[in-house]
Amino acid sequence: MKSQKFKKLKTAYKREEDFNRELSENLQLLDLGEFDEVEVEGQVGTRRADIVANNGEDVLVIETQFGKADWDHWGRLEAYARLKKASMAVLIAEDFEELMIATSQLRNEDSDISWFLIKVFLNKHDEFLFIPIEKPTIDIQTERKNVEYSKFWAPIRESGLFAGKPVPKRDEGWILKGIKGAGIILKVNKNYTEIIVEYKGSERIQKRDKLFPALNDIIDKLQKKETSKSAQILIPLIDKGRDDIDSWDEIRELMISTGERIYNTIDESHI
């Protein structure tokens, strides 16, 4: 098996601000919870934090850095997190020194703020891969020791294109796979199943409309939809869902085969 090749962030983004903007539209990839209010260059006193997010319960502050994280960025993150009364402080970089990792561990022992050091990789498809280097001992999102996981998603998450972490039962409605700025959402409702291709950001409609003809060549019954924050393509699959337990294998097979076709189409596109 060939090892996956990764490249430096600066080869894909001219400025850290460009990376921050795309990250702000894909915060779910960090696995830190869902956030309704996300601000890039969020005001903190007379300075600006890279990303500030809020969901009504938790405040998340993120600082990012190309290359190896330095203490200047660490100091900014600490100041911003305390001033914003954040519950989570995250430093994202391509590498970290051992002393910073040890310092973050100490912070998690004596602070009310949960500290995360997350290493970011970028593959040849410009897809993000985030690896936590340091995080709180207890998962602040779900305290997973008591979590019940979805049986529907278990085989899909074990291997293949949509493999990943187990899906908590309370979040079992959908999973997401990102590629080239698009989100491929596999969604299973109680009585029907669909796939949603979603773009966010300032050029979301243009990107959606450019992809639509390519998908329309391989899949029937596509629909366009827009929200205040996203442009979507809806792909209905089957009038069966989570309540149709005897049809789970059929639903999964259709979902995976269609999802892979969509992924490959986006991968081969020039969007």
CB–CB of 121/12 below 8 Å? no
Output phi, psi for 167, to 5 deg. Answer: -100, 120
Q: Which has the higher per-residue pLDDT, 219 or 164? A: 219
| Boundaries of domain holding 37 | 6-134
- Strand pairing report for 230-238 and 182-188: unpaired
Which is more confidently placed, 2 or 20?
A: 20
Same domain, 126 and 197: no
Q: Choose the weakest-confidence range: 25-29, 135-139, 158-162, 168-172.
A: 135-139
So what's the pLDDT on residue 144? Answer: 43
Q: Report if residue 113 sits inside a domain.
A: yes
Is the pLDDT at 140 greater than 60? The verdict is no
* Of 33, 79, 40, nearest in space to 59 by CA: 33
Q: Look up the CATH number of the domain holding residue 179.
A: 3.30.1460
Lowest pLDDT segment from 9-23, 61-75, 162-176, 234-248: 162-176
- Given this model, what pLDDT does residue 135 score? 84
- Closest by Cα among 48, 103, 111 to 85: 111
Say yes or no: 16 and 127 in one domain: yes
- Give residue 137's pLDDT: 66
What is the pLDDT at residue 260?
A: 96
Residues 21 and 125 in one domain: yes
In a domain, 139, yes or no: no
pLDDT exceeds cutoff 70 at 223: yes
- Residue 156: how many CB atoms within 10 A of its CB? 20
State whether 18 and 115 are in the same domain. Answer: yes
Contact (CB, 8 A) for 95 and 69: yes
Percent pLDDT > 90 in the chain is: 45
Query: What percent of the chain has a predicted confidence (pLDDT) above 70?
Result: 94
Could you give the CA distance from residue 45 to residue 202 in angstroms, rounded to a whole number? Answer: 27
At 61, the pLDDT band (50, 70, 90 cuts) reads very high
- For the cut 50, the answer to whether the pLDDT of residue 242 exceeds it is yes
Question: In which band, very low, low, confident or very high, does the pLDDT at 177 lie, cut at 50, 70 and 90?
Answer: confident
Element (H, E) at 110: helix 98-110
Residues 17, 112: Cα–Cα separation, whole Å: 29
240 or 178, which is more confident?
A: 240
State the pLDDT at residue 115. Answer: 92
Within this chain, do residues 168 and 100 fall inside the same structural domain, yes or no? no
Using the 3D structure, point to which of 99, 134, 169 is the last residue of a domain. Answer: 134
**Does one domain contain both 117 and 193?**
no
Tell me if residue 215 falls in helix, strand or coil: helix
Report the mean per-residue pLDDT for the chain.
Answer: 87
Query: Considering the entire predicted model, what is its pTM?
Result: 0.56
Confidence of residue 146 (pLDDT cuts 50, 70, 90): low
Same domain, 87 and 201: no
What total of structural domains would you count in the chain? 2
- Asked if 108 contacts 114 with a C-beta cutoff of 8 angstroms, the reply is yes
Residue 169 pLDDT > 50: yes
Say which range, 2-16, 58-72, 104-118, 200-214, has the weakest mean pLDDT: 2-16
* pLDDT above 50 (res 87): yes
Which tokens in the block code for residue 103? 């310092």
* Cα–Cα distances in angstroms (integers) from residue 171 to residues 16, 127, 152, 186, in the given order: 32, 23, 12, 12
Q: How far apart are CA 34 and CA 52, in angstroms?
A: 13
